[in-house]
Amino acid sequence: MANSQRSVPNILVTGTPGVGKSTLCEQLAERTGLEWLEVGQIAKDCECFEEFDEVYQCPVLDEDKLIDEMEDKMGQGGKIVDYHGCDFFPERWFDIVFVLRTNNTVLYDRLGHRGYTGKKLEDNVQCEIFQTILEEAQEAYKMDIVHELPSNTPDDMEENVDKITAWVEEWKLRALS
Ligand code: DAT
């Protein structure tokens, strides 16, 4: 359950790799003053990887270890977390969840530019087509805190940053009153 007592909210930004999570979070952190916790970086720093998945060519996350590592910071509030998965985080951590969505052809090009090829590229694009992360978020969190946001163009990005910043400001004002 979300903790409505927090004076500054915790935000989760999720979605398929390449939809724009890091780009959005970096800009959001600048605009809102909230602290961006890069899960990928934290996992590397605290050696929260168990093994290497040869099929997907990526390390497998030790989720319990990562959660222990992040717990204290999340308890402080005012954190922005981004990750391409969302159902293993404690539900109580987040006050709002944004799922970024990108059209298949746009995502295909972005991941291609990132150097993804073959199965890794196809599987990630399919993940987006099948709305896998959106459904994961809807199952893991209360429906009314999960919001889908388009992330195809720079205008979408700007609009998303504006909307989320306004939401954070409203939260802070409510917390003061
Ligand atoms: P993620 O963190 O979800 O893996 P990213 O922020 O690294 O994604 O973005 C991947 C690339 O796509 C990067 O070159 C920036 C670009 N991009 C992301 N969102 C975009 C948007 N809404 N409009 C245009 N380009 C975008």
Alpha helix positions (H), the chain = 21-32, 39-45, 63-76, 104-113, 118-129, 132-140, 154-176
- Give the whole-number percent of the chain exceeding pLDDT 70: 97
Can you tell me the mean pLDDT for 39-45? 91
| 168 pLDDT higher than 90 | yes
Q: Which of 82, 63, 98, 70 is nearest to 17 (CA)?
A: 82
CA atoms within 13 A on the CB side of 153: 3
Closest to 21 (Cα-Cα) out of 113, 89, 86: 86
**CATH number of the domain at 84-157, out of 3.40.50.300, 3.40.50.1820, 3.40.50.720, 3.40.50.12780?**
3.40.50.300
40/127: higher pLDDT = 127
For residue range 104-158, list pLDDT tens digits in order. Answer: 999 999 999 999 999 999 999 999 999 999 999 999 999 999 999 999 999 999 9
In this predicted structure, what is the pLDDT of residue 59?
A: 81
Half-sphere exposure of 79 (CA within 13 A, CB side): 16
Name the more confident of 148 and 55: 148
**Which is it for strands 96-101 and 146-150: parallel, antiparallel or unpaired?**
parallel
Cβ neighbours of 48 (radius 10 Å): 22
Percent of the chain residues topping a pLDDT of 90: 85
Spatial distance between the Cα atoms of 67 and 14, rounded to a whole number of angstroms: 16
The yes-or-no verdict on residue 56 having pLDDT over 90 is no
Integer Cα distance of 99 and 97 in angstroms = 7
Distance 125 CA to ligand 1 centre (A): 14
Tell which one of 12, 23, 127 to mutate to probe ligand 1, the residue whose CB is within 8 A of the most ligand atoms: 23
Higher pLDDT, 5 or 124: 124
Q: At residue 38, does pLDDT exceed 60? A: yes
**Distance between CA atoms of residues 131 and 134, nearest Å:** 5
Q: Using an 8 Å Cβ cutoff, are 137 and 97 in contact?
A: yes
Q: Structure tokens of 6?
A: 């927090």
For residue 173, report the distance from its CA to the centre of ligand 1, in Å: 31
Mean per-residue pLDDT over the chain, rounded: 94
Position 55 pLDDT exceeds 80: no
Q: Given pLDDT bands bounded at 50, 70 and 90, which one contains residue 1?
A: very low
The rounded distance, in Å, linking the Cα atoms of 177 and 174 is 5
Specify the DSSP element, H or E, that contains 50: strand 49-53
Report the nearest-CA residue for atom 18 of ligand 1. 20
Determine which residue's CA is closest to atom 13 belonging to ligand 1: 20
Most informative mutation of 12, 13, 19, 39 for ligand 1 (most atoms within 8 A of CB): 19
Q: 23 C-alpha to center of ligand 1: Å?
A: 6
Residue 53 three-state SS? strand
160 or 53, which is more confident: 160
- Domain chopping of the chain, boundaries: 34-78, 84-157
pLDDT one-digit tens code per residue, 80-92: 999 999 999 999 9
- Predicted confidence at residue 49, as pLDDT, reads 87
Residue 22 marked as a ligand binder: yes
